[in-house]
Amino acid sequence: MRRAWLYWGLGALCYLVALFHRTSLSVAADQAAERFHVGPGALGLFTGLQLGVYLALQIPAGLVADRWGPRRVLTMAALALAGGALLLSMSGSLWEGLAARALTGFGDAFMFVSTLQLAARWFPRQYALVAGLTGLMGALGQVVSALPLTAMLHSWGWTGTFAGAAGLTVVIAVVTAFGVRDGQPAARDGEATVRGAVAPVEPVGLAVRRAWALAGTRRAFWGHFVLMGQFVAFSALWGGPWLTRQGLSAGEAGGLLMLCPLAMAVVSFAGGRVIAGNAARREAVIGTWLGLSLVAWLALVAVPQPMPLPLVVVVLLLVGGGGGGGPLVFDLARTANPAHRSGTAAGVVNTAGFACAVFAQVVVGLVLDLTGTFRLAFLPVLVVLAAAVVIGVNGGRRSLVSS
């Protein structure tokens, strides 16, 4: 068990580093605008391109994790992240910066699914707990990018900060290559395995169709769409501007926004402990956070602005807690699918949250340009989130507990 925790821990460290790289540019937005001589609109291309690459690669990431094993995929992804950071440290033009962030999105795309593969292989009976701990590590990565990175930029400058991050990521890639062991794919209850047996390799389209045909996968997909999608859209882009509209300074808004990843960390860890090995509790916890996330967005739409500060804090905690429920839904997909398809199923599910985030980021920006008010801009997001909850419940109710 100590070795199993070590193997997963190295994978989770890779995922923490991926979140650091994913959110680093939001912390360095002012420096990036100055370095690349662009305005806010063009700067948004960096986030859009990076997230688009990440989204496009989620199903391939799951397929590759199933076929190559998590150790090789994590190592490759960490080296891609290092390459993206190094290129960003040396880039001075918009196109060089975009190429760097595309490479970062490529590396980031493989990290979460591969870390979940390690959890499924080494902790088949504690998967929900370890998936929650994986979400905790991701939240810590977001915290690290917001706090130490700011100090590094002031002390080392742009080139030194991102070159240093690239060097540290290379070290982590080497440690992962030599320190992680893939383990044996773990079977579902009632599914026999033979030690040393080679898992069947399904054609790509067939693997995806078979994963989607299971109600547990569909329920996890729509749960992730809501829980992770609303969290990413708010915490990574619109949360800060919304907070400044409440009368807070930029510094106060940035500090208060940290409640989102902190709440995510707490819910990921606590929720994983609560639902581990218990399908009924899993359904209750996920359903509770789906409802609380809708309550948070209803408040964003319905409450007159500026919102009272105590209610602002509650909304931030609910949005962040919903994000913490995102990693927990993967247990639905894992228990519904055979072991050799667990990575593919995880990739299908992980696509959902980031598709929702892209939609929300674009729609909120468009409506905000037209109306100038966040209450109207958040309304389409609330409608889509509510529709996704209804679709997910109807699509997966029959197998939530049985899966």
Report d(CA 268, CA 128) in Å as an integer.
Answer: 10
Say whether both 84 and 16 belong to one domain: yes
Whether 333 and 209 map to the same domain: the answer is yes
Domain containing residue 76: CATH number: 1.20.1250.20
In this structure, what token pair is assigned to residue 133?
């701990």
> Is 186 part of a structural domain of the chain?
no
The residue ranking higher by pLDDT, 152 or 402, is: 152
> Can you tell me the mean pLDDT for 359-369?
83
Same domain for 326 and 227: yes
Establish if 142 belongs to a structural domain: yes
Same domain, 151 and 232: no
Q: Domain residues for 378?
A: 204-398
282 with 166, same domain: the answer is no
Clarify whether residues 71 and 218 are in a common domain: no
In this predicted structure, which of 128-137, 195-204, 283-292 has the lowest mean pLDDT? 195-204
Give domain status of residue 237, yes or no. yes
pLDDT at 81 over 90: yes
Residue 188 lies in a domain: no
Measured CA distances, 358 to 4, 44, 168, 377 (Å): 35, 12, 30, 14
Domain count, the chain: 2
Domain membership of residue 166 (yes or no) is: yes
pLDDT band at 187 (very low <50, low <70, confident <90, very high): low
Same domain, 320 and 372: yes
Residues 311 and 364 in one domain: yes
Residue 265 above 90 pLDDT?
Answer: no
pLDDT of residue 108: 93
Q: Specify if 106 maps to a domain.
A: yes
pLDDT at residue 285 is higher than 50: yes
Are 79 and 225 in a shared domain? no
> Of the ranges 110-124, 164-178, 351-365, 388-402, which one carries the lowest mean pLDDT score?
388-402
Predicted confidence (pLDDT) per residue in 26-44, tens digit: 667 778 878 888 776 566 6
Record the pTM. Answer: 0.77
Those residues whose C-beta lies under 8 Å from the C-beta of residue 143, and which sit 6 or more positions away, are: 258, 261, 262, 265
For residues 213 and 316, state if they share a domain.
yes
Q: When comparing pLDDT for 248 and 299, which is higher?
A: 299
Supply the pLDDT for residue 318: 97
pLDDT at 43: 67
Query: Would residue 187 count as lying in a domain?
Result: no
